[in-house]
Amino acid sequence: MHPDVLKQVMEELIPFNRYLGVKCAEAKKGFARLEVPFRDELVGDPLRPALHGGVLSALADAAGGAAVWTDIEDERARVSTIDLRIDYLRPARLVTLIAEATVVRLGNRVGVADVRMFNADAESETIATGKGVYNITIKKEPIA
């Protein structure tokens, strides 16, 4: 999928991504970097404080799927999640959350991506890792 189309899909066409405020910061073949700017509604532990773990898993899922999509040339392709694993390593601070995903395997029907998440103010400090497995289908019409 062309990076401009992927950006539109990730930021505008997926309602849940719009709600989270997902931004596609970078996309190239086999790689995607997505961001979620901090908002008070995303806090899961106000005492710590930390972002909700569901925000991390949702961003990891979106980034992994986006990375797989970048590796598929057919504009009619659709990607859906088969499996997602997240390892939470430390709390996500109340700043922009970033996920970088890289495709590790792409077949005709299944793609696999590794994801690393970190806060914008400490890119070298991994807060969570993930692996997503995605189903690839080809529809009759392109997305956009």
What percent of the chain is predicted at pLDDT more than 70? 99
Q: What angle do CA 132, 119, 17 make, to 5 degrees?
A: 50
Which amino acid is residue 94, in one-letter code? L
Average pLDDT over residues 9-21: 95
Is 144 domain-assigned? no
Average pLDDT, the chain: 95
Residue 144: predicted pLDDT: 64
The token pair that represents 28 in the structure block = 């190239």
Is 66 domain-assigned? yes
> pLDDT tens, 104-139?
999 999 999 999 999 999 999 999 999 999 999 999
Is 143 domain-assigned? no
Cis peptide before 49 (omega within 30 of 0): yes
Q: Which domain holds residue 86?
A: 3-138
Domain count, the chain: 1
CATH number at residue 55: 3.10.129.10
Residue 2: predicted pLDDT: 82
> pLDDT tens, 77-90?
999 999 999 999 99
Average pLDDT over residues 88-110: 98
Residue 15: predicted pLDDT: 96
